[in-house]
Amino acid sequence: MSLDDDKEAFRNFSKAFLINFIFGLINVIFIVIMVAWAISATVMPMGGGEVEPTGPIYAFFIPSVILSLIGNIIFVYYLWHGFKIMETVMPNVSIGKIGALLLLFSSFSLPIIFPIFWGAPSPNFQSPVAYFGLFSIFGVVGLIGIILLVIAIYRIGEKYDNTTIKVGAIIYIFLSFIAAIVLYFGFKELENRKSGKNSVILPPQPPW
């Protein structure tokens, strides 16, 4: 793999994790808004009883899900191309491509909870157990995808002796939102190193 291929792979990875961070941040904002809306719209009946949230919370939920899907598609696109380049010199990171596809597949589980959120279950899933069962399957697929992705990213960090990438890969298992920005800086560091931006400039030779 040439130097330009190296740079292109690292550029794809840095773009992927920057997008992952940006869309993750947007979703966090949506979640905060939804929680604040739910708290402010909650009505406690005078005679006691259950608390009933009011207000169209789904008005925030739907854009959040749509943005998550869009973000995941773009995220996986750049990941795929990064691993496609890297596997020419590191065949053992090809599992990252599989992990990326599994993550993309699991992200399509989000629309499944639309009927639950609206309180109008689909005719095919009348039982909550069926919902949770299907959602669990997507969750397991997503977990496997994350594990494969983390292993591949960690191997890249090992090969290029980049501690930031190795730490980011480990954090990604637990806090993908935070790890994404760590990995972005890690791959940017590799990209700059390969492009010679971090090279030491030697003083000119004496004339004699």
Strand 52-53 vs strand 42-43: parallel, antiparallel, or unpaired? antiparallel
Mean pLDDT lowest among 10-19, 67-76, 103-112, 142-151: 103-112
Q: Give the bridge partners for 4, in sequence order.
A: none
Helix boundaries (H) for the chain: 3-40, 58-86, 95-107, 114-118, 128-159, 163-174, 176-195
Contact in structure between 44 and 10 (CB atoms under 8 Å): no
Average pLDDT, integer, range 134-156: 90
pLDDT class of 132 with cuts at 50, 70, 90: confident
Asked whether the predicted pLDDT for residue 99 surpasses 80, the reply is yes
Within 10 Å of residue 126's Cβ, how many Cβ atoms?
A: 10
Average pLDDT, integer, range 170-192: 93
Residue 170 to residue 162: CA distance in whole angstroms:
13
Average pLDDT, integer, range 131-142: 80
Q: Tokens standing for 168? A: 């980011």
pLDDT of residue 201: 40
pLDDT of residue 35: 75
Contact in structure between 16 and 78 (CB atoms under 8 Å): yes
For 30-84, the pLDDT digits (tens) are 878 777 776 766 544 444 555 444 445 566 677 777 888 899 999 999 999 999 9
pLDDT of residue 154: 96
For 163-176, the pLDDT digits (tens) are 999 999 999 999 88
Asked whether the predicted pLDDT for residue 125 surpasses 80, the reply is no
The one-character DSSP state at 201 is P
